[in-house]
Structure 1
Amino acid sequence: MAHPHKIVVGLDFGTTYSALAWASTNLPGQINLIGNWPSAGILTHHSAPTEIAYHQGSTTDFSWGYDIPRTARRLKWFKLLLESNDEHVQSGTPLPAGMTAMDITRDFLSALYQHAIGTLWRQNGQAVMSMTKVDFVLTVPAVWSDTAKQRTREAAIAAGMSNEHNLSLLSEPEAAAIYTIKNQDRNAINVHDRIVVCDAGGGTVDLISYTVISINPLKVTECAVGTGDFCGSTYIDRNFEVLLQQRMGHHYKNLRVETQQRIIKNFEEVKCAFRDKPDQSVYHVNVPTIDSIPEAGIFGGEFQLTREEMKQLFDPVVDQIMILINSQVQSICSEGNQVNSVLLVGGFGESPYLFQRLETWCRQWGISAISPHGAATAVVKGAVLRGLEPSIPFQMSTVVRRVRRHYGTPMSTPFIQGRHSERDAYSDPITGRKMARNQVAWFLQKGEPIADDRRITRNFCRSFKKYSGPWIDSMVACDLDRPPSRVTRDVKHVCNITADLSSVSKSCYEKKWKNWRKYYIARYNLDLTISSGDMKFELIFKGASFGSISVDFDL
């Protein structure tokens, strides 16, 4: 059935909070934030806590977001487990027995999916929804590895987001940049400007820098390789938790789990409002069930923090962000260019203290620091805009990215003395030719500019006596500035592509003879087709596709 119009749902799956928004091709300028979250009787906001609590003894029944009872043991920060193998991250997010981070993510995304679909049907009615195609755009950190992005995609598919829907992934800072530039006030960003977008979230901080080529239609090109790190606002929460434990000593261990969780929640309110004010020397965090513990600095049910202690909680994290921003700016300046502005977006991007630090730093470089209106929702709204663009004439944004790492395929090649190592040498059992294994043909170079839907082709060949497929080729990546010509420990496996050519007739292959024995040669192409956040890796034989795999990766 043909759908006369479409709705695009943007989903910003965050470490601490997640947001949903939607718009239709009928009213593309009207982006609607999805609220009305299921709630256990507490005030809700434009985003819901990325938290889940499984019912006692169950791994299928759960509460999520605002609907979790205060007495329940809640799982949070589990998004970081999709990427990080850090012991501190894993120990801080213990999972139910037999469940993985992908299982938790699937369940949480399924709750968001059902809430989004239910809201759309309730707000638009059956008559509209029955003839409407719904697509999803899920944002992911640009700093994430290919594996983490693939895990996120698979969890979203398992959650239902590909059931009669198109699902696409988009990097968080790119989504924020698209929305901010298209909805800027007072021409804060102009053609030829160079801007650094800092997307500061709960878990990750991503930076991407653009040169603005045109505003309408939007065309930007990356002017430095993007960077990022795990230095979001949750690490301030962790610093506070450590301080709380140190100050309270054995009293902390006597607190119930829900009380500990409530104290951290109460600190979040103080954290979000903190700015370095010389005239405010003490900050207070409500501590339920406790009146006073003078040696811990708790008086009248409030945990007291000095101005210096607050800064000590923030500064290790903010310092790391400022190092990332400085590195990005210096990278641009090293090419003889000037940065005009730094855009601070994301949930942590609304922190007054972080903006204070950024503004002070920018002033000495003559750079404008901008915290755009609605910084916390720029990512989810940008995802909706990006998803609608193909359906709106003359509104398609063009983003030329720089590849964040090298991508290639391992291969064997004829041995060349002096170039190849004898440890890689072997004799091809079919042709008898001396070959070098473990060599890498690099498809994409780190820092190389690349636009949407560019197709890159590399030629390969395979010798065989009898087809015994399927054939398996792999893709690898390397983060070094100059990649090695052979497989080393710095070359990481990304994915496999499996090609089944069992239906191909022998007559289609090139026939050869060696010592009166017949063998065949298949000459084929390995193609890369690249779009925003996704890459299709495909084997082409005589103009036909015989195997492909979609992988998600950083550009």
Structure 2
Amino acid sequence: MSSEDYIAVAAIDFGTTYSGYGFSTIQDYSVDPLKVTSCTWTSGQIMSLKTTTTILFRPDQTFDAFGYEAEDRYNDLSLDNMHTDWFYFRRFKMMLYAAQHVHRDTPLKDETGKEMPALVVFSECIRYMKGHLMNNLERLLPEVQPTDIKWVLTVPAIWDDAAKQFMREAAVKAGIDGGRLLLALEPEAASMFCKHLPVERQGATSQITCFSADSRYLVLDAGGGTVDITVHEVNRDGTLRELVKANGGAWGGTMVDKAFVALMAEITGQEVLDKFHEKHQDDYIDLMRAFEVRKRSIQPTSEDRITFKIPISLHELYREMTGGEMRDAVKNNQKLNGKVSFAGDKMRTDATIIKALFEETCTNIVDHLRQLLKNPQTAGTRTILMVGGFSESQMLAAAVQSAFSDLRVVVPHDAGLAVLKGAVIFGHNSHVITSRIAKYTYGVSCVETFDPKKYPKERMVIYEGRYEVRKVFSKLVEIGQSLSPDSPLEAKQYFPRGKYDSMEVNLYASPQKNPMFVDETDAIYIGKMHVDCKDHKGRVSGAYVSLIFGDTELRVKAVHDKTGEETAATFDFL
């Protein structure tokens, strides 16, 4: 898409806990790449640059509300006991990471266990944010049309190809033109943002500049659900190259939330807490919102007791179900006695109890960074840039700073908007990443002549007098290989079977460098490549197929072997 094709870039940052959007015109970008317009969301006393990733559907499964509005609306329904037939989804993005196999018809459970198609839920979220964004953009550019916009949707880099395709199809279902849509990998978007930050002192002067050529920096994108990590080197021309494959894990801020819920369950008992969640959704949401505020403000040096307002409904429910009082429950708990106490509707806890909620996620992140920085490919990395909403936690920042005191750890202002702003920058200049590292070894299934020196005897089959080996992993790309989005692999010739006028080629991935067969235990079937074998006159022939692995999405290109005409070729990972 050339600069003449659009006048503005609009990005939707679809997060596990919070979501938002931003946009900038070509003119904005040319003056200051960091000048990105976003939205301020409000709910009661809350004002933020993102809203909660929460969506509410009516009993007939039609859309009702999104974000804080969905939370508040569901609260009201709950107070009137009219919520039981409604569909209420929150923090559901991680389903695409946790699911073994994601399909177009994969169901998604709401907070009470009722199911809707996941594709509908995701697409309605995107549709809402798209509409909200367009309303704001039209105030600045009254004549703007959807065809004037290049769209960007963020996805975690550690997601597989099926999850990425799922998000693309959800966006298309939401009314975004697929030809005008880019997927941005979240840590890469954050890196694009960080690349423009003044972080280096120039010589002995006091001038602060952006990263210079040959600089290497690690971007730690800590969101609500996932922690995504990438390491980039600045090329001489200002572009970036990836040094190690995108990595990370499900160690985001929601791990701390789960630890807090586990603490509450230890006090009340799991049965009481589950009933509280079910019967008093409004109070449960208020409790978790209050914890979110505390989560951001708690510091490693905190020693004072921390106070939480506990809803009266939880005390009453505990009384009703157990016949006791919560204040007595903590006195009888050896681990919590003297460290947690109740006075009226207030729960007072030692700072050590709350700080302990961060231990598991901080340990996972620090241990992973240690292993990553031991990799020879990351040698020379001197800076860790912490972005994402969870990076604003002083507990996490302190843990990383303490573990890597020899490195410069930077948490930029508005760290929670780094991915969003970087996604807009990526939309304006998606070619700035010149190479990426293959996450897997990719290949296709093929048949080869049996070679007793190469293959085990039990793999031999006899077909029409020939000794063959089937399901051989024909390697296309090796794990760890540096790949450019502008350099397709060498084309391979494929032929349709029998009387078919198209062909499907199965694509596989493996964490091994040299897998032998596609049915090995750790080999993964990831999808089909579909190629149309008819030319413009309807004649059927073979095709030369080349794969492009170095982009944010796996792409395929095919040409007829007789005419050289480009033909339709697509991937289907769902």
TM-score by length of structure 1 reads: 0.85
Compared CA separation, residues 274 and 471, structure 1 to 2 (3 A):
same
| 1:114 and 2:131 aligned | yes
2:553 alignment partner in structure 1: 534
| 1:34 and 2:38 aligned | yes
Shift in Å at residue 503 of structure 1? 5.3
Q: In terms of mean alpha carbon deviation, does 232-241 or 60-69 score higher?
A: 60-69
1:16 alignment partner in structure 2: 17
The amino acid of 1:455's aligned partner reads P
| 1:210 and 2:232 aligned | yes
The amino acid of 1:328's aligned partner reads L
1:113-158 C-alpha deviation (Å, 9 max, x unpaired): 11111211123213xx149611111111011111111111111111
Compared CA separation, residues 248 and 485, structure 1 to 2 (3 A):
closer
Compared CA separation, residues 506 and 355, structure 1 to 2 (3 A):
closer
2:284 alignment partner in structure 1: 260
SS at match of 1:342: strand
Contact 1:534–1:550 under 8 Å retained in 2: no
1:284 alignment partner in structure 2: 307
1:412 alignment partner in structure 2: 447
Equivalence map 1:340-489=2 (5 Å):
340-363=382-405, 366-389=406-429, 397-429=432-464, 432-462=465-495, 466-489=498-521
1:191 alignment partner in structure 2: 213
SS at match of 1:113: helix
Corresponding residue pairs, total: 517
Contact 2:213–2:238 under 8 Å retained in 1: no
Shift in Å at residue 277 of structure 1? 1.6
Shift in Å at residue 427 of structure 1? 4.3
2:240 alignment partner in structure 1: 220
1:544 alignment partner in structure 2: 565
1:300 to 338, 341, 344: 344
Shift in Å at residue 359 of structure 1? 0.8
Contact 1:403–1:450 under 8 Å retained in 2: yes
2:531 alignment partner in structure 1: 499
Compared CA separation, residues 193 and 502, structure 1 to 2 (3 A):
closer
Q: In terms of mean alpha carbon deviation, does 153-162 or 482-491 score higher?
A: 482-491
Q: Structure 2 unaligned runs (5+)? A: 78-82, 101-106, 200-207, 316-324, 331-340
SS at match of 1:225: coil
CA RMSD across the alignment: 2.9
Shift in Å at residue 497 of structure 1? 1.8
1:518 alignment partner in structure 2: none
For 1:506 and 1:24, the matched residues in 2 are separated by 44
Contact 2:55–2:125 under 8 Å retained in 1: yes
| 1:149 and 2:164 aligned | yes
1:44 alignment partner in structure 2: 47
The amino acid of 1:266's aligned partner reads A
Shift in Å at residue 489 of structure 1? 2.5
- Percent of pairs with identical residues: 21
1:170 to 184, 195, 201: 184
The amino acid of 1:493's aligned partner reads Y
The amino acid of 1:400's aligned partner reads S
Shift in Å at residue 299 of structure 1? 2.0
For 1:502 and 1:384, the matched residues in 2 are separated by 39
Q: In terms of mean alpha carbon deviation, does 473-482 or 114-123 score higher?
A: 473-482
1:71 alignment partner in structure 2: 76
1:309 alignment partner in structure 2: 353
1:155-209 C-alpha deviation (Å, 9 max, x unpaired): 111111227x601101100110111111234236333222111100000001111
Shift in Å at residue 266 of structure 1? 0.9
The amino acid of 1:182's aligned partner reads H
For 2:5 and 2:569, the matched residues in 1 are separated by 31
For 1:100 and 1:203, the matched residues in 2 are separated by 21
Contact 1:77–1:93 under 8 Å retained in 2: no
Shift in Å at residue 5 of structure 1? 4.7
For 1:552 and 1:349, the matched residues in 2 are separated by 33
SS at match of 2:162: helix
Compared CA separation, residues 275 and 507, structure 1 to 2 (3 A):
closer
Contact 2:372–2:378 under 8 Å retained in 1: no
Compared CA separation, residues 547 and 536, structure 1 to 2 (3 A):
same
Contact 1:20–1:34 under 8 Å retained in 2: yes
Compared CA separation, residues 458 and 439, structure 1 to 2 (3 A):
farther
1:105 to 122, 127, 130: 122
For 2:263 and 2:306, the matched residues in 1 are separated by 14
Contact 1:21–1:31 under 8 Å retained in 2: no
The amino acid of 2:191's aligned partner reads A
Contact 2:108–2:116 under 8 Å retained in 1: no
Contact 1:24–1:388 under 8 Å retained in 2: no
SS at match of 1:268: helix
For 1:110 and 1:95, the matched residues in 2 are separated by 24
Shift in Å at residue 379 of structure 1? 0.6
Shift in Å at residue 339 of structure 1? 2.2
1:192-246 C-alpha deviation (Å, 9 max, x unpaired): 22211110000000111122223xx422222223321001001110110111122
The amino acid of 1:141's aligned partner reads P
Contact 1:170–1:532 under 8 Å retained in 2: no
Q: In terms of mean alpha carbon deviation, does 449-458 or 106-115 score higher?
A: 449-458
The amino acid of 1:150's aligned partner reads Q
Contact 2:109–2:115 under 8 Å retained in 1: no
Compared CA separation, residues 7 and 336, structure 1 to 2 (3 A):
closer
Shift in Å at residue 293 of structure 1? 4.0
For 1:268 and 1:189, the matched residues in 2 are separated by 33
| 1:275 and 2:299 aligned | yes
